[in-house]
Chains A and B, each alone.
Chain A
Amino acid sequence: MTPRKKRIAIVIAILAGMAIAAALILTAFEKNLLYFYSPTQIVNGEAPDSRSFRIGGLVMTDSVKRNKDTLDVSFILTDTINEIEVVYNGILPDLFREGQGIVANGKLDENKLFQADEVLAKHDENYMPPEVAQALKEAGAEIPHQQYDTTQ
């Protein structure tokens, strides 16, 4: 083996070793790397019940109820299969609207209500001018929105 071939072997060994190590670490920590749980995962009992966690889903149309005098708001989050009701007291982000994807941080209470202490909007990967969105709507086509993968 010439010194150069030896160096090539070392470089390949570094790359292969790191790839294997990373694959093992990421597989081991897969659950911890999820930023949020979907309503289906929560219904299946995969979410922790003793500590706070994040829930992600679409705000169901016509489900937002606001209290006129306080900042209390409640809405239903759905992944189109299962639904979880979220209650929150605070200011919602600008992008919060019905049909929009959001992520909320909080805890499930004993009534299976999600008590959120933080609500973040998850904007999707679609960009278009308002006229295009309007035209899509008028044509009856669905405006594409973030798909929530329920298999995760």
Chain B
Amino acid sequence: MKLPRWIHQFGSPKYFYELSLWLSRWVAIVCVICFVCGLYGGLVLAPADYQQGDSFRIMYIHVPSAWMSLFIYMVMAVAGGIGLIWRIKLAEIVARSSAPIGASFTFLALVTGAIWGKPMWGTWWVWDARLTSELILLFLYLGYIALQSAFEDRRVAARAGAILALVGIVNIPIIHYSVEWWSTLHQGPTITKMDKPSIHLSMLIPLLFMVLAFKTFFISTLLIRARSEILEYECNASWVKQLLGSNNVTK
């Protein structure tokens, strides 16, 4: 199975390094705009909920973080798999750079959920299927990060990490469907269910802005992280030496 030529070209660290600066800036601008719209819409324009009052507004952070925690894991596992099979350096870099961002979003989802849970449910934490599987996801991220720093050689670390990420991917559908398969304290899906979403439009639109803001935040942060990873990976390549001035590179 051969990949098309353009993927290899885009995957070349030098080409990516040049493109990513431009890309990350534009994505960051989109992110800031969406953040402002989403926060203003969610905290000011959206009405209070008929049952939860103003407490429901924490979902403008909680829901996008929880979605991103799953999405970034998928990115990490797919990039890891591509790196494992086709040995594309950039895929390894993307997987490695995604992990801390994903771990942060998972942590944020768990913490905001607990803050929400105390007044709404009456407890910070319960061991139901949704909360437990999300906690396992955090441990998977932390395990991946620990594994990355356990190897001297980055290429070996990337391969080991990719296998862990692929093994852990089985948790993703479990998290998503946990509220449907089993009885949980966590409520069922609001937006992703097949019939019409059970959230009022005035509350939904700011949420969608926040989702977009979180997604673009991830892309832009990923690009910046990947750039610095590339420099470390490629510190012996001639283009990096040229870029930094050969005297500054000691390795």
> CB within 8 Å of B: which residues of A?
4-5, 7-8, 11, 14-15, 18-19, 21-22, 26, 30, 33-38, 56, 92-95, 100, 103, 118-134, 144, 146, 149, 152
Name the residue on B nearest A9 (C-beta).
Answer: B85
* Residues in B neighbouring A11, C-beta threshold 8 A: 81, 84-85, 166
> Given contacts A35-B129, A127-B59, could you give 11 more A-B pairs where the C-beta distance is less than 8 Å?
A4-B85, A11-B81, A30-B182, A95-B121, A120-B121, A121-B122, A125-B188, A127-B190, A127-B198, A127-B200, A133-B51
* Residues in B neighbouring A103, C-beta threshold 8 A: 185
The interface bits of chain B over 157-199 (1 if a CB of A lies within 8 angstroms of the residue's CB, else 0) are: 0000001001101100010000001111101111000000011
The interface bits of chain B over 59-84 (1 if a CB of A lies within 8 angstroms of the residue's CB, else 0) are: 10000000000000000000001001
CB of B86 to closest CB in A, whole Å: 7
Main secondary structure of the interface of A (DSSP, over half): mixed
Total residue contacts A-B, CB cutoff 8 A: 126
State A123–B120 Cα separation when bound (angstroms): 7
Chain B's interface size range is 35 or more
Name the residue on B nearest A14 (C-beta).
Answer: B166
* Residues in B neighbouring A15, C-beta threshold 8 A: 166, 169-170
* Residues in B neighbouring A36, C-beta threshold 8 A: 183, 185
